[in-house]
Chain A
Amino acid sequence: QKEVEQNSGPLSVPEGAIASLNCTYSDRGSQSFFWYRQYSGKSPELIMFIYSNGDKEDGRFTAQLNKASQYVSLLIRDSQPSDSATYLCAVSSSNTGKLIFGQGTTLQVKP
């Protein structure tokens, strides 16, 4: 079993819709959870981080964490074509700061 799993997609949504990206992780001791966005040929860029169960909202983005189900998600409201990218889920479970990444979900937002 992979440590951090994401559906590789592509996930295609129309402009203005809500995009829902999901991630599961295997280590119950995981403490920090991150969503990075990566455009083709560019470096990963932090979108959201969440440490506690529940929802965290920042603008059009909402991260949701459910530690009991070992599940973290990212919702993007009012999706724009500029949101088209690969979204990487990353989990940290140690005091070394080691991040375990999922394989990423490719999101396509169609005008």
Chain B
Amino acid sequence: DTAVSQTPKYLVTQMGNDKSIKCEQNLGHDTMYWYKQDSKKFLKIMFSYNNKELIINETVPNRFSPKSPDKAHLNLHINSLELGDSAVYFCASSQNRGGNIQYFGAGTRLSVL
């Protein structure tokens, strides 16, 4: 079983559409994260939830809205997609919020046309 799984793996869509990416972890971790990796491979934190509570909310357009229905799941909904949203989005999890090792999912490659 994959420890941190994301769906879909690829997402191709038109500008202006709304899309969601889902993430699930089966490691029993309390903390989950969303990262964005741009075309220059720079990996940047977007959001983090600890046991369903939002604890990191970086400077991200409010078109991006994370949701954590339980501590094993963290979803990312993106409204009104723009060309600049094209990137690879990684979900990660860690045992808790205290600087522990983070384990990454396989990533979702989003292409906005």
Contact = CB atoms under 8 A, between A and B. Distances in A.
Nearest to A45: B104
Interface residues of B, number: 26
Contacts of B111: none
23 contacts: A32-B99, A34-B102, A43-B90, A43-B105, A43-B107, A44-B90, A46-B101, A46-B103, A49-B101, A86-B41, A92-B99, A94-B99, A96-B56, A96-B97, A97-B96, A97-B98, A97-B100, A98-B45, A98-B56, A99-B45, A100-B45, A101-B42, A104-B43
A101 B45 CA distance: 9
A37 B106 CA distance: 13
B93 to A, nearest CB: 10
Given A44-B43, A86-B41, A104-B41, A97 B104 contact: no
A92 B96 CA distance: 13
B90 to A, nearest CB: 6
A103 B90 contact: no
Centre residue among A34, A45, A99, A103 by max chain B CB count within 10 A: A99
Contacts of A44: 43, 90, 104
Given A101-B43, A103-B42, A43 B104 contact: yes
Contact of A97 (B41, B48, B107): B48
Nearest to B96: A97
Interface residues of A, number: 23
B94 interface: yes
B34 interface: no
A45 B106 CA distance: 10
A74 to B, nearest CB: 16
A28 interface: no
Interface string B72-105: 0000000000000000001000101111111111
Tell which of B99, B105, B107 has the most Cβ of chain A within 10 Å. B99
Contacts of A92: 99
B44 A97 contact: no
